[in-house]
């Protein structure tokens, strides 16, 4: 899995997988493959981003992604500063734009941003000179999660082309689903979105995705089941009658998995609602790669930080 | 400049030198080879098989990618592809033979030494290169040199190896030559000004 030496990465930001080519996505995955080794060393650090400043701007809660980016930046020897909205001037009414410009005035190279509003990272990338990495913007995209999911599938299955992947659950509110779909379809996998009709937007078919409402019909034919979290915090109105009913109709349990392929792979981006979208025995079972995903997230984020850092700080706008 | 036959003979000579310089039992028992990506890797593999035939023992082999330790990442423009560093053994107390194709400014070797230090305290590190073309920018020299070549600073020494390029040969080309320029691709990217 070595990259072609002639390929050059030209993006200063990572805003989503929608605007990347299959070639570019593969290049990130190949680069991440090389970074995996660093985490196995005694001294888990390389000097690549020494003197560079990375800021974590998480305007929405996060454990995994934020820690993963922090660790990734530290393994590359960058200095990382955290910004949290509740203890910042955002709570005094400062606009995000002003906050970002002020932070940039202190001299930062890479801004990692998570926000409830879709498009926030794109907006920031136009007003600041630093590289911007989208760590989740509303229900739009979460590119590094999509990348680490695809990386884990490729690592475990040896390929992406021709894989059948079911993405199960709340597709409508899921940025993870959207990034998975963009990336997987570009690389030639077949994606089936499964869930209650109220949580699957019909337009998703335009992204080249099949829709199914009965999980038991889909389970026997897929290689990967990527289970989404039921995002109670994003559901303003009720999309299904009760959590118990959802668990009964769509929850992945060992009974359902009896009809699955022997080597089916179970994924979940976390945090998991045990007993809702996935039962504990499946989440902790032999087919689950949930913790592997977290480990791989580090390599993928190191690769992304490395790649975006290679671009000149200012780019000409045509 | 060097044909396939020349390269073969040079490697045999290098292997013999490595063996004679590491004849003490301490050195022999702790000998490992590490090839620097890209062309140091196939060269290290070839040296390994020649040396193993002579000493009738397996020799551990590792690969090193120095990209993340380069001192010019800020100026190379688009970043080089990161390749695999693979050292599946502890380097503590090992006698390392570091292998590369061409020794030029010495900066690659500086990066390699820094990186190797993270893998343990070696007993000794020695450097073996196919070609030494001069023009050092750092106080670094090789312990085993296949061929010493006088070059101009702007000339390019290209080592082609079967494993990567399909054939074995070493050629020197003038930097002004078109193909050579494309191969080198080291021009710093101009920092553009943002239009607000």
Alpha-carbon distances, residue B26 vs B30, B83, B87, B95, B124 (angstroms): 6, 32, 21, 9, 11
Residue A223 near residue A261 (C-beta atoms within 8 A): yes
Instruction: Spell out the residues 6+ positions from residue A181 whose beta carbon is closer than 8 angstroms to its own.
Output: A167, A191, A193, A204, A207, A208, A209
Whole-angstrom Cα distance, residue B151 to residue B141?
17
Average pLDDT, integer, range A98-115:
92
* pLDDT tops 80 at residue A98: yes
Note the pLDDT of residue A237.
66
Residues in chain A with CB shorter than 8 Å from the CB of B68 are 38, 46-48, 76, 306
B40 within a domain of the structure (yes/no) = yes
Note the pLDDT of residue A318.
31
Query: Residue B27 CA to chain centroid, in angstroms?
Result: 21
Confidence class for position A312, pLDDT limits 50, 70, 90:
low
Other CB atoms closer than 10 Å to residue A211's CB: what's the count?
A: 15
Q: Is B78 on the interface with A (CB under 8 A)?
A: yes
Q: Is B89 on the interface with A (CB under 8 A)?
A: no
Instruction: Spell out the residues 6+ positions from residue A198 whose beta carbon is closer than 8 angstroms to its own.
Output: A172, A239, A240
* pLDDT tops 90 at residue B190: no
* Out of A25-29, A101-105, B61-65, B189-193, least confident range: B189-193
Which carries the bigger pLDDT value, residue A311 or residue A249? Answer: A249
State the average pLDDT for chain B.
Answer: 89
Window B:95-134, CB contacts with A under 8 Å: 114-115, 118-120
Whole-angstrom Cα distance, residue A15 to residue A24?
13
- Test the B interface: residue of A9, A46, A131 with most B CBs within 10 Å: A46
- CB contact under 8 Å between B85 and A34, yes or no, is yes
Measured in angstroms, the CA of B166 and the nearest CA of chain A are apart by 16
Looking at the domain A143-294, which fold is it? Rossmann fold (3.40.50)
Note the pLDDT of residue A236.
58
Q: Which of A5, A37, A46 sits opposite B69 (nearest CB)?
A: A46
| Per-residue pLDDT reduced to its tens digit, B112-170 | 999 999 999 999 999 999 999 999 999 999 999 999 999 999 999 999 999 999 999 99
Average pLDDT, integer, range A137-162:
97
For chain B, the domain total comes to 1
* pLDDT tops 90 at residue A94: no
Note the pLDDT of residue B196.
36
B100 within a domain of the structure (yes/no) = yes
Residue B39 near residue B170 (C-beta atoms within 8 A): no
Measured in angstroms, the CA of A153 and the nearest CA of chain B are apart by 20
* pLDDT tops 50 at residue A230: yes
Note the pLDDT of residue B58.
94
Which residue of chain B is at minimal alpha-carbon distance from A307?
A: B79
Residues in chain B with CB shorter than 8 Å from the CB of A317 are 194-195
Alpha-carbon distances, residue A209 vs A98, A205, B82 (angstroms): 39, 5, 33
* pLDDT tops 80 at residue A85: no
CATH of the domain at B100: 3.40.50.2020
Q: Which of B38, B82, B192 sits opposite A315 (nearest CB)?
A: B192
Confidence class for position A235, pLDDT limits 50, 70, 90:
low
DSSP state of A313: S
Note the pLDDT of residue B194.
40
Average pLDDT, integer, range B33-39:
96
Q: Is A203 on the interface with B (CB under 8 A)?
A: no
B188 within a domain of the structure (yes/no) = no
Window A:51-80, CB contacts with B under 8 Å: 76
Size of interface A-B (CB pairs under 8 A): 76
Other CB atoms closer than 10 Å to residue B53's CB: what's the count?
A: 9
Whole-angstrom Cα distance, residue A264 to residue A272?
19
Domain boundaries defined on chain A: 22-142+297-309, 143-294
Whole-angstrom Cα distance, residue B38 to residue B41?
6
Looking at the domain A22-142+297-309, which fold is it? Rossmann fold (3.40.50)
| Per-residue pLDDT reduced to its tens digit, A175-227 | 999 999 999 999 999 999 999 999 999 999 999 999 999 999 999 999 999 99
Whole-angstrom Cα distance, residue A16 to residue A125?
12
Residue B167 near residue B4 (C-beta atoms within 8 A): yes
Average pLDDT, integer, range B163-179:
82
> Which position has the token pair 């493959």?
A33
- CB contact under 8 Å between B81 and A30, yes or no, is yes
């Amino acid at each position: 899995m070595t990259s072609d030496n002639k390929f050059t990465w030209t993006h200063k930001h990572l805003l989503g997988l929608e605007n990347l080519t299959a070639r570019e996505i593969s290049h990130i995955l190949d680069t991440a493959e090389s970074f995996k080794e660093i985490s196995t060393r005694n001294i888990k650090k390389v000097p690549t981003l020494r003197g560079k400043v990375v800021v974590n701007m998480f305007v929405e809660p996060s454990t995994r992604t934020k820690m993963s980016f922090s660790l990734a930046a530290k393994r590359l020897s960058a200095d990382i500063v955290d910004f949290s909205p509740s203890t910042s001037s955002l709570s005094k009414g400062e606009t995000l734009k002003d906050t970002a410009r002020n932070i940039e005035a202190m001299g930062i190279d890479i801004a990692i941003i998570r926000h409830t509003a879709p498009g926030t990272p794109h907006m920031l990338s136009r007003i600041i000179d630093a590289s911007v990495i989208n760590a989740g913007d509303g229900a739009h995209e979460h590119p590094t999660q999509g990348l680490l999911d695809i990386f884990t599938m490729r690592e475990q299955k040896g390929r992406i082309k021709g894989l059948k992947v079911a993405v199960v659950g709340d597709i409508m509110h899921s940025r993870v689903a959207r990034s998975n779909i963009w990336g997987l379809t570009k690389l030639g996998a077949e994606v089936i979105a499964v869930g209650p009709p109220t949580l699957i937007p019909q337009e998703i078919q335009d992204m080249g995705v099949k829709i199914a409402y009965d999980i038991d019909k889909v389970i026997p034919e897929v290689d990967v089941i990527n289970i989404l979290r039921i995002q109670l915090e994003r559901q303003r109105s009720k999309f299904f009658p009760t959590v118990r009913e959802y668990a009964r109709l769509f929850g992945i349990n060992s009974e359902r998995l009896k009809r699955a392929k022997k080597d089916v792979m179970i994924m979940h981006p976390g945090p998991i609602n045990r007993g809702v979208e996935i039962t504990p025995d499946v989440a902790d079972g032999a087919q689950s790669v949930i913790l592997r995903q977290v480990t791989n997230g580090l390599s993928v984020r190191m690769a992304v930080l490395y790649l975006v850092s290679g671009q000149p700080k200012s780019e000409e706008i045509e | 400049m060097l044909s396939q036959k020349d390269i073969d003979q040079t490697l045999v000579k290098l292997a013999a030198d490595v063996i004679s310089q590491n004849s003490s039992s301490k050195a022999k028992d702790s000998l490992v080879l590490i090839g620097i990506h890209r062309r140091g890797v196939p060269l290290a593999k070839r040296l390994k098989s020649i040396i193993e035939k002579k000493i009738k023992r397996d020799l551990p082999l590792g690969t090193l990618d120095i990209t993340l330790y380069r001192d010019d990442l800020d100026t190379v423009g688009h970043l080089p592809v990161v390749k695999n560093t693979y050292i599946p053994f502890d380097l503590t107390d090992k006698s390392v033979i570091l292998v590369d194709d061409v020794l030029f400014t010495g900066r690659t070797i500086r990066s390699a030494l820094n990186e190797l230090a993270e893998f343990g305290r070696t007993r000794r590190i020695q450097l073996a290169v196919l070609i030494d073309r001069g023009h050092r920018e750092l106080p670094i020299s090789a312990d085993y040199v296949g061929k010493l070549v006088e070059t101009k600073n702007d000339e390019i020494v290209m080592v082609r190896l079967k494993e990567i390029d399909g054939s074995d040969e070493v050629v020197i080309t003038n930097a002004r030559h078109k193909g050579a320029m494309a191969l080198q691709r080291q021009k710093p990217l101009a920092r553009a000004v943002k239009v607000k």
